[in-house]
Structure 1
């Protein structure tokens, strides 16, 4: 499974705001109870509002199975990421989030 974790600028912490406003995403491949960092992907749409942002974000993260962030907007409404494909976590360090996700994937 491939996951995208919303990251704060210049820190290895979960971005505390809405997922789509995160300045970058850590993209991981999770298999066999292990997570391997594939890339840190910039979010060129972080400051964008309206103007087809949901479609642009879907395209940016089309290779990702699970979106992980502190907050998601629109509650799964029209244009938003589906609830099944996202996970809210506290704005903590990246290591804590990975440990939580890995523990749940092996449970």
Structure 2
């Protein structure tokens, strides 16, 4: 399973504290069957400052290869949100290590 964790602006070890779609970058991990997490890449979010318009569509394209989104919090979303079909996990403003531990515990 592929996971995108919203990263803080200047710290790759912390989850971005704001809404998922406003994160400046995402750490893309591959989770193995044994719960091990392998960092594949850190992906920039060119739509972080964007509001409304095509943002939801563009975010779907940006993270189209991701099965689960992990962030401190998510916007209202709903059926018209950025990822109406994708799974998400809200973890609060924790460290990336803590977010990965919560994923393993699921």
More strand by percentage: 2
Q: Same fold (TM over 0.5)?
A: yes
* In structure 2, C-alpha distance between the alignment counterparts of 1:76 and 1:65, rounded to whole Å: 18
CA RMSD of aligned residues (A): 1.3
* In structure 1, C-alpha distance between the alignment counterparts of 2:49 and 2:83, rounded to whole Å: 18
1:3-14 to 2 correspondence within 5 Å? 3-11=3-11, 12-14=13-15
| Structure 1 stretches of at least 4 aligned residues deviating more than 3 Å after TM superposition | none
Which consecutive residues of structure 1, in runs of 5 or more, have no partner in the other structure? none
TM-score when scaled to structure 2?
0.91
**Equivalent of 2:93, from 91, 95, 98?**
91
TM-score when scaled to structure 1?
0.90
Q: Residue in 1 aligned with 2:54? A: 52
Measured after TM superposition, the shift of residue 22 of structure 1 is 0.2
Q: How many residues of Structure 1 are paired with residues of Structure 2 in the alignment? A: 104
Measured after TM superposition, the shift of residue 99 of structure 1 is 1.1
User: What do residues 69-91 of structure 1 show as CA deviations (whole Å, max 9, x unaligned)?
Assistant: 11111242313323751110011
